[in-house]
Structure 1
Amino acid sequence: MTFQPETVGFIGIGLMGRPMALRLLAADARLVVWGRTPGKLRDVLAAGAEFAEAPAAVAQRASVVITCVSDTAAVEAVVFGPCGVAEGGSAGKVLVDMSTIQPRRSRELAEQLRAQTGMGWVDAPVSGGPSAAAAGTLAVMAGGDPADFERVEPVLRHLAGGLTLMGPPGAGQTTKMVNQVIVGGCKSVIAEAIQLAMNAGLDARRLPEALAGGRADSVLLRQSIPKMVSGDFSPAGRLRTVLKDLDLVMELAGETGTPMPMTGLATQLHRMMITHGHADSDSTAVIALLRDRPLL
């Protein structure tokens, strides 16, 4: 698949944004970038991206603008803050928000941007981590107007192994909340299983082989075991990010009247890790709570 002759904007060159931006450049996209930390732009600028002075300048020069930032407040700032996307946006353009933010707020921001500028909005949060971002195999769950989704689909196909329009604006973010319920809860349970295996004298590194094809087998299990066993908690997905997402899940649970006792426990386990200084550790570090000599 090749790009249409249009410019793509990218705002948020971080742990996930950097490999996504580099994939777009490798596919010969004309890419205009902006980030709050100029040093993080070095690789993508060296690969051929063009620098923009502000989010508004990105929106002026690009027809599709991707945002991939830390949280709801950051999205609001880059879109509606001073020199934000809204100042450079216009009808016929589409913003694709690949951040993970509140579903309700995502819907409201989409309505606000269209009312102010005529610009469309597709919420398209992702799952898979930096390695999947680099390989172009992310799971991308989208919400938005079907015409806006069709407009940005050729761009997103370069980043996604799976791309699904789940419904109107906000539906992608709601789907990401469901994803995070499973990820956050399962990692906590996987940590217990691995620690039990090690305490009982098993070589836990062989669990993927032993469980392959059975009902306990999963990508999450296979990815978690090496880091949990080795104690290498260099971040592929930071604990503070997972906690931010789980807090959003619990907020949505309150709004929808959904009991979520298991997710509530997983949320507090992640909060405990962060209070002990592990905010920037990988989310697999939750196993440290279970060790005889915890890394706290």
Structure 2
Amino acid sequence: MIKSSQQTAELGFIGIGRMGLPMTSRLIAAGHKVYVYDLDSNKVIAAEKAGAKAAKHPAEVADKAEIVFLCLTDGAAVEEVVFGSDGIASVRCPPKIVVDLSSIHPDSTRSIAARLKVANGMAWIDAPVSGGPKGAAEGTLAVMAGGQETEIERVRPYVLAMGQRLTRMGDVGAGQTTKLCNQIVAACSMVVLAEATRLAVDAGIDASRLPEALAGGFADSIPLQLFVPRMAKDADEPQIGPVSIILKDLDMIADVARTHSTPLPMAGLAAQMFRLLKAARGSQADVLEIYKLSEPKLS
């Protein structure tokens, strides 16, 4: 069920990908007018079919919308949308808010937010999400935010049309740091679950029943319930996302950890495992193919 805000609004959404399209659709279903932009015109067309209004460039989105959501691949893409040609920073307008749902470096977030504030006074909330495309479609995303409390409360009704939880973690940058903590757990979980699944298969038990057998015990988790059946199925089609994305996050984690002298041996090992996956199967290999690294070699 779509959780609607008390009043409709004119919103913007830039980045209509695997996450952005279902999130945009949920905002439209909640009764909001949504202006969209993406470099890929086919993605814009898909959003228009859901009821969105197409914009020619990011500046047009920011000019028409009260709140602009971004869901982009990396920091370079966010930088381009904000400060590139016809970017958000070029708009002269009453104070508005940008909510960045992307996962980028906390330092980049703080820099972009400060420069945008100087450029045109727009506020910034970093609000990365966890839950994947399935959570985006079902409105069950967990959203972790950094920014001023009054601004986060202003956007809360619209965020909760796309997710089930919005938690303020501190000032700008805190949301991105929280997402990195999330990614430590997620990445390490995938590697550990791949090992458990492989042991089950090699020992001759039905690995697809592990979630049922372990439900309610100390080993139970959402990743266990979601990922193990997919690993056991051993399918080749994309399921979660490319290994390049998790490696981007793990590299950011290592950088932030160095800054704070934080030892992260498990995250470091997970990063090396995913680097092996990238070397073996390419940068677009699905992250759950980590399970296939331990496949027995045929003689």
State the TM-score bracket (shorter-chain normalisation). over 0.9
User: How many residues end up aligned between the 2 structures?
Assistant: 294
> Alpha carbon RMSD of aligned pairs, Å?
1.3
**1:125 aligned residue (121, 128, 134):** 128
CA contact (8 A) 1:97 1:122 kept: yes
Any idea what SS the aligned residue of 1:140 has? strand
Question: Deviation of residue 3 (structure 1)?
Answer: 5.3
Of 199-208 and 277-286, more deviation after overlay is shown by 277-286
Q: Does the alignment pair 1:155 with 2:184?
A: no
**Which ranges in structure 1 are unaligned for 5 or more consecutive residues?**
none
What corresponds to 1:258 in structure 2? 262
Cα distance change, pair 159–196 in 1 and its aligned pair in 2 (3 A): same
Equivalent residue runs for 1:75-224 within 5 Å: 75-88=78-91, 90-224=93-227
In the superposition, the TM-score normalised over structure 1's length comes to 0.96
**1:243 aligned residue (235, 242, 247):** 247
What is the distance in 2 between the residues matched to 1:27 and 1:201? 48
What corresponds to 1:276 in structure 2? 280
Question: Deviation of residue 90 (structure 1)?
Answer: 3.1
Cα distance change, pair 2–162 in 1 and its aligned pair in 2 (3 A): closer
User: 1:173-230 CA distances to partner (integer Å, 9 max, x unpaired)?
Assistant: 0000000000001110110011011101110111111101000000001101121111
Question: Deviation of residue 275 (structure 1)?
Answer: 2.0
Any idea what SS the aligned residue of 2:39 has? coil
User: 1:49-105 CA distances to partner (integer Å, 9 max, x unpaired)?
Assistant: 111100011000101000000001110010111111111253420000000000111
What is the distance in 2 between the residues matched to 1:13 and 1:69? 8
**1:292 aligned residue (276, 292, 296):** 296
Q: Residue type of the partner of 1:153?
A: R
What is the distance in 2 between the residues matched to 1:191 and 1:144? 37
What is the distance in 1 between the residues matched to 2:92 and 2:30? 25
Q: Does the alignment pair 1:32 with 2:38?
A: no
What is the distance in 2 between the residues matched to 1:91 and 1:98? 22
What is the distance in 2 between the residues matched to 1:61 and 1:2? 19
What is the distance in 1 between the residues matched to 2:239 and 2:118? 39
Q: Residue type of the partner of 2:266?
A: M
CA contact (8 A) 2:37 2:54 kept: yes
What corresponds to 2:234 in structure 1? 231
What corresponds to 1:23 in structure 2? 26
In the superposition, the TM-score normalised over structure 2's length comes to 0.95
Percent of pairs with identical residues:
44
Runs (4 or more) in structure 1 with deviation over 6 Å come to none
User: 1:1-43 CA distances to partner (integer Å, 9 max, x unpaired)?
Assistant: 3353431000000011111011111111100000011111222
What is the distance in 2 between the residues matched to 1:122 and 1:89? 19
What corresponds to 1:14 in structure 2? 17
Any idea what SS the aligned residue of 2:69 has? strand
Any idea what SS the aligned residue of 1:281 has? coil
